[in-house]
Structure 1
Amino acid sequence: MSARSSSETSPPSRLPGLPDGVTDPCVHCGFCLPTCASYRVLGTEMDSPRGRIHTLKAIEAGELALDATVASHFDSCLGCFACVSACPSGVRYDQLIEATRPKLNSAELRSPWQQTFRQLLLAVLPYPSRLHALLTPLRAYAGGPLQTLIRRSGLTRLLGPQLEAMEALLPPLAAEGFADRFPLVTAAQGERRGRVGLVLGCVQRCFDPQVNAATLAVLQANGFEVVVPADQGCCGAVSHHQGQMEQTRSLASDLVRSFAAAAGPEGLEAVLVAASGCGHTLKAYGELLGDEQNSFSCPVLDVHEFLAARGLSASFRAALQPLPITVAYHDACHMIHGQGISSEPRSLLRSIPDLQLREATEAGVCCGSAGIYNLVQPQEAAELGQLKVEDLSRTGASVIASANIGCSLQLRRHLQQDGPEVQHPMELLARAAGLSLESTTSADAA
C-alpha cells in the first residue's frame, strides 16, 4: 500500500453521498467474514468488508492514498451485500461500496487492458442492438460441435483469462433471442386482475429468451394484462454495478420514458422484472434520478414478489399439473441481500404439485457472477462458481431454480453435463400449468 502523510497531499474529499460517521458502527467483529465471497477465495483481510472499511477510514483521514494496489482490493468485492445481511451492527457496506466505485474508474487505478475491457463490456452489454450485432456471427458456433471441439482442445486459453471467461459463459443462441417478439399489450386471460409492465432485460432477452416468454405467459394466465414497450432498453444495472453513474442515469431515464409512453393514460399497477440484478437497480431509480418524480409512477416489483402478494388465480392453480422433480432454489445475491426476497419464490414453487424443494447449505454465499465480475475477475469467480454448484449439487436436485440471468449463466458454466439443469421459477410454473410459450408472441394487442 502507498501510505503517505497528510502534509504531502491535501486531505481527500469525503465519499460523496454518505453521512459523516457512516463507517463508525463497524466494530470489526468478523461476522461478515464467512459470508464474504471475496474473503472466501482470497483469504486476506484487505479483501474483506471490515478490511475495506478500515481502508476507507484511512483514505478519508489522509493516511492512505487510493492507488492501484489499494483499488484492487475494492475491485475484488463482488457487491453481493451478504455482509450487510450478516452485520449485527447495521453497517451499510452497500452504501460504502457504491460510493467508492465511481472513484475506481480513474485511468491510473487500472491497467490499460483492464480499462479497455471494461469499457468494451459497458459499450455492448447494456445495448441490445449492439449485443445482437456482436453475437449474430457466433450463432453457428455457440452450442455447436465447433465450440465443443475448441473447448476440449484448450485453444480458448490463448484468448487470455477475460476473453476465455467470456467464451466459457457463451450459451447456445436461440433465434428468439434476436428479436423482440412480444406485442405492446398482451391481454389477460379470464377475469382481468390488473395491468402491469414487464422489463425484458438486456442479457436475459438475448441469452435466455424463454424466461421472458414464460413470465409473460404466467402473468397472462393469472389474469394480468401485460405491457411490454417495444423500444425499452437497459435498466442500467450493469453500469450501476461498475460505478458508471452518468451512463446509469441516462439508461434509467430512457427506460422510464419508454414505459410512461407505453402505459398511456390508463397507467400501470406495477413495473415487473424477472431478473434480480435488474430489480435491485430499478428499485433505486428514485435515488439515482434525483427524486421520485423522475422515476416510475408505480411500484417496481420482482415478479415473484408481485405474484406472491397478489396470489395465484384460482384458475391457474387448478391448471397446475404434478411435476415430480426435485428443485434446489438458488438465492441470487441481489434478490436475498439486495431486495430481501427469499420466501416468495419458494412459496410459488411449492404451489406446484409433487415438486420437492431442497435447500443448499450455504444459500447466502455468492455464485461469483456479480454483474461482470466473472469476466473482469475470472479466477476468483470460477472458484466461487465451483463452490456454489458443488453446494447445490449436494442437494440431489435434478433442477436448480435461478431467478437471475447472470447466476444462471454462471451455474451452467460450472455444472457437469450430467448434472442438474438450470431453469427460472417462471419457466417451472409455466411448464406445470401447461402454458404454450409460443402463444405469448401472438397474443391480441389492446
Structure 2
Amino acid sequence: METTPVRTSAAAAPGAALQAPLTDPCVHCGFCLPSCASYRVLGTEMDSPRGRIHALKAIEAGELALDATVARHFDSCLGCLACVTACPSGVRYDQLIEATRPKLNAPELRSPAAQAFRRLLFALLPYPRRLRIALAPLRAYAGTPLQGLARRSGLTRLLGPQLEAMERLLPPLAPETFRDGFPVVVPARGERRARVGLVLGCVQRLFDPQVNAAAVRVLSANGIEVVIPPEQGCCGAVTHHQGEEAHTRALADALVASFEAVLGPGRPGGAEPLEAVLVAASGCGHTMKAYDRLASGDFPAPVADIHEFLARLGLSQEFRQRLQPLPHPDGTQASAERPLTVAFHDACHMLHGQGIEAQPRQLLRAIPHLRLAEPMEAGVCCGSAGIYNLVQPQEAAELGRIKAADLAATGAELVSSANIGCTMQLRRHLDGEAAAALPVQHPIQLLDQSWRAGVEA
C-alpha cells in the first residue's frame, strides 16, 4: 500500500514516462547484481535492477515500448528491495518498481490465463471469510497422509505449475484457521505499561493462527493492553506489491475503519488512545507504514512491527524472569553446555523495507541458552515475495531451495522467520529438500513458548 513524491499516475498508459531523477543516479556499477534474487536464478541482465533501469531509461526516451516481452522482465522482479540496500549511489529502485507495477496490469501485457489467475488470488487472499469458505473442503486433505500420497504420486503436477505451487504451500488447517476467537480488548497482565492495537493479517491468521495467539499472550504478559477489532480484514499488502492501487486503497481504508469502529467513548475498544498499531507479519508492516500515502485516513496511532515495539518498550522484568530454555528437537532441554541453535531468517520487507534487523535478534537472545546462527546470504530473498511463488513458481522454487540450503548449512536445529509468506515458503523447502528438515517458527512464538514454560513450571 504506497505513493512517492515522484510517482506517476496509476492511470498512465503502459510505457508512459517515469520522471528521470529516479533513474539518473544509476551508474550501472553492478553492485546490485549479487543481491538480486531474480538475477540469481535467471542470470540475464534484463532480469536485474540495472537492466530494468536501463529499460526504463529507454522507455522514457521513446526507444523502447513496454510490450509483453519487456513486461515479463519487470514481472520477474520480486520487489524484495535488496538492491536498494546494496546500491552505493542511492538509486530508489523501490520507487521505480512501484511506479511501474500498475502499468504491468494493462490487459495486453499478460495472457488471459495469467490475468484470470491473478484475479482469483486477489479475490481470495485478502478476504479471510472467503478464504475460509474455500479452505473448508480441504480440512480432510491438508496435512493428512492423503496429501502426502498425492504429492508423492505426482497427482498434484496435473494441476499445472501455479495451482501445484498453491498446493505445495498448503499447511495443515488448525481449528483456529476458521475462527479468530479474540475479545476486542485483551487486558494487560499486572500493571499496564502500554495500550496498542493489533492487526491479525489475512493469510497469517488462517495459515499460521498460532502466531497471533502467541503475540497476544506475549504482549499481555508484558503489561500491554491489546485492542483487536473483530471486523478487520487485509491490510492491502498482497495487492499493493502487485500495483493494484484502487484495490489496495479500498482494503487500507476498510482496515482503518475497523479500528475507528471500536475506539472511542462507549465503543467496545474504549476511549483511551493507542500508543501504536502492531502487526506480527513484516510484509504487512511495510505496507501499513505507508498508509499516509495509501489510505484516505490513517490509524489512530503509529504503525510498528511487534519486535520493534517490544524492543523499544523493553520486556518487563517479570516476563524476563519467567523465560525458560526451550527444548531441542529430541525433547531434551537446552543448556549452557548444549544451547538450542536457531537460524534467523531476515524477511525482505523487514530488513530492506523497514530497516529492522537487531530487534528480533535482541528479543530471541532473551531466551536462556538460545544461540543464534546467521546464514551466509541473509539479505537474499527466499522467493516468497507476496504472490511471487504462485505466479512465478519455477523461479521461486529455485530461490526457496537456495535459501533452504543456506539455512541448513548453519547447523541450526530450528529456523525463525517473522513473515508468513517466508514461513510458508521455508517450510516447503526445509521439509526434507535441504540438508536437514528444520521446523520454522515466528520469533514471538519462541518467546511465548519460553515464557509459558516458566509459568507452568
Q: What is the CA–CA distance in structure 2 between the aligned matches of 1:266 and 1:352, rounded to whole Å?
A: 33
Q: Is the 8 A contact 1:11 1:62 kept in 2?
A: no
Deviating more after overlay: 261-270 vs 329-338: 261-270
Q: Is 1:288 paired with 2:294?
A: yes
Q: Is 1:422 paired with 2:440?
A: yes
Q: Is the 8 A contact 1:184 1:227 kept in 2?
A: yes
Q: TM (normalized to structure 2)?
A: 0.91
- When residues 143 and 242 of structure 1 are mapped into structure 2, their CA distance, relative to the original with a 3 A threshold, is same
Q: What is the CA–CA distance in structure 2 between the aligned matches of 1:180 and 1:322, rounded to whole Å?
A: 29
Q: Report the CA distance between 1:261 and its aligned residue.
A: 2.1
Listed as ranges, the matches of 1:425-444 within 5 Å are 425-434=443-452
Q: Is the 8 A contact 2:324 2:453 kept in 1?
A: no
Q: What is the CA–CA distance in structure 2 between the aligned matches of 1:79 and 1:396, rounded to whole Å?
A: 29
Q: What is the CA–CA distance in structure 1 between the aligned matches of 2:427 and 2:220, rounded to whole Å?
A: 29
Q: Is the 8 A contact 2:322 2:454 kept in 1?
A: no
Paired residue secondary structure (1:308) = helix
Q: Is the 8 A contact 2:185 2:225 kept in 1?
A: yes
Paired residue secondary structure (1:434) = helix
Q: Report the CA distance between 1:402 and its aligned residue.
A: 0.5
Query: Counterpart amino acid of 1:305?
Result: E
Which position in structure 2 is the counterpart of 1:7?
Answer: none
Q: Is the 8 A contact 1:169 1:409 kept in 2?
A: yes
Which position in structure 2 is the counterpart of 1:391?
Answer: 406
Q: Is the 8 A contact 2:201 2:234 kept in 1?
A: yes
Which position in structure 1 is the counterpart of 2:167?
Answer: 167
Q: What is the CA–CA distance in structure 2 between the aligned matches of 1:92 and 1:181, rounded to whole Å?
A: 42
Which position in structure 1 is the counterpart of 2:419?
Answer: 404
Q: Is the 8 A contact 1:217 1:435 kept in 2?
A: no
Which position in structure 1 is the counterpart of 2:267?
Answer: none
| Deviations, residues 378-423 of structure 1 (Å, cap 9, x unaligned) | 0000000000010000111111000000000000101134611000
Which position in structure 1 is the counterpart of 2:282?
Answer: 276
Q: Is 1:319 paired with 2:322?
A: yes
| Deviations, residues 32-84 of structure 1 (Å, cap 9, x unaligned) | 00000000000000000010000011111111110000000000000000000
Q: What is the CA–CA distance in structure 2 between the aligned matches of 1:14 and 1:149, rounded to whole Å?
A: 51
Which position in structure 2 is the counterpart of 1:352?
Answer: 367
Q: Percent identity?
A: 71
Listed as ranges, the matches of 1:123-202 within 5 Å are 123-202=123-202
| Deviations, residues 126-151 of structure 1 (Å, cap 9, x unaligned) | 00000000000001100001101110
Q: Report the CA distance between 1:308 and its aligned residue.
A: 0.4
| Deviations, residues 240-284 of structure 1 (Å, cap 9, x unaligned) | 011000000000001011112223231211000000010000001
- When residues 107 and 21 of structure 1 are mapped into structure 2, their CA distance, relative to the original with a 3 A threshold, is same
Which position in structure 1 is the counterpart of 2:330?
Answer: none
Which position in structure 2 is the counterpart of 1:444?
Answer: none
Q: Is 1:297 paired with 2:297?
A: no
Query: Counterpart amino acid of 2:71?
Result: A
Which position in structure 1 is the counterpart of 2:272?
Answer: 266
- When residues 297 and 154 of structure 1 are mapped into structure 2, their CA distance, relative to the original with a 3 A threshold, is same
Q: What is the CA–CA distance in structure 1 between the aligned matches of 2:415 and 2:80, rounded to whole Å?
A: 20
Which position in structure 2 is the counterpart of 1:30?
Answer: 30
| Deviations, residues 322-369 of structure 1 (Å, cap 9, x unaligned) | 222210000000000000000000000001010111100000000000
1:307 to 297, 310, 316: 310
- When residues 20 and 223 of structure 1 are mapped into structure 2, their CA distance, relative to the original with a 3 A threshold, is same
Q: Is 1:14 paired with 2:17?
A: yes
Q: What is the CA–CA distance in structure 2 between the aligned matches of 1:28 and 1:435, rounded to whole Å?
A: 53
Which position in structure 2 is the counterpart of 1:440?
Answer: none
Which position in structure 2 is the counterpart of 1:442?
Answer: none
Which position in structure 2 is the counterpart of 1:443?
Answer: none
Which position in structure 1 is the counterpart of 2:238?
Answer: 238
Deviating more after overlay: 156-165 vs 259-268: 259-268
Unpaired runs of 5+ in structure 1? 1-9, 438-446
Q: Is the 8 A contact 1:327 1:356 kept in 2?
A: yes
Which position in structure 2 is the counterpart of 1:3?
Answer: none
Query: Counterpart amino acid of 1:300?
Result: V
Q: What is the CA–CA distance in structure 2 between the aligned matches of 1:209 and 1:156, rounded to whole Å?
A: 26
Which position in structure 1 is the counterpart of 2:99?
Answer: 99
- When residues 81 and 355 of structure 1 are mapped into structure 2, their CA distance, relative to the original with a 3 A threshold, is same
Deviating more after overlay: 224-233 vs 294-303: 294-303
Listed as ranges, the matches of 1:73-112 within 5 Å are 73-112=73-112
What is the number of equivalent residue pairs in this alignment? 422
Q: Report the CA distance between 1:289 and its aligned residue.
A: 2.6
Q: What is the CA–CA distance in structure 1 between the aligned matches of 2:262 and 2:14, rounded to whole Å?
A: 49
Paired residue secondary structure (2:445) = helix
Q: Report the CA distance between 1:434 and its aligned residue.
A: 1.0
Q: What is the CA–CA distance in structure 2 between the aligned matches of 1:423 and 1:87, rounded to whole Å?
A: 31
Q: Is the 8 A contact 2:15 2:103 kept in 1?
A: no
Q: TM (normalized to structure 1)?
A: 0.93
Which position in structure 2 is the counterpart of 1:336?
Answer: 351
- When residues 169 and 436 of structure 1 are mapped into structure 2, their CA distance, relative to the original with a 3 A threshold, is farther
Q: Is 1:225 paired with 2:225?
A: yes
Q: What is the CA–CA distance in structure 2 between the aligned matches of 1:11 and 1:284, rounded to whole Å?
A: 25
Q: What is the CA–CA distance in structure 2 between the aligned matches of 1:135 and 1:155, rounded to whole Å?
A: 19
Q: What is the CA–CA distance in structure 2 between the aligned matches of 1:354 and 1:94, rounded to whole Å?
A: 39
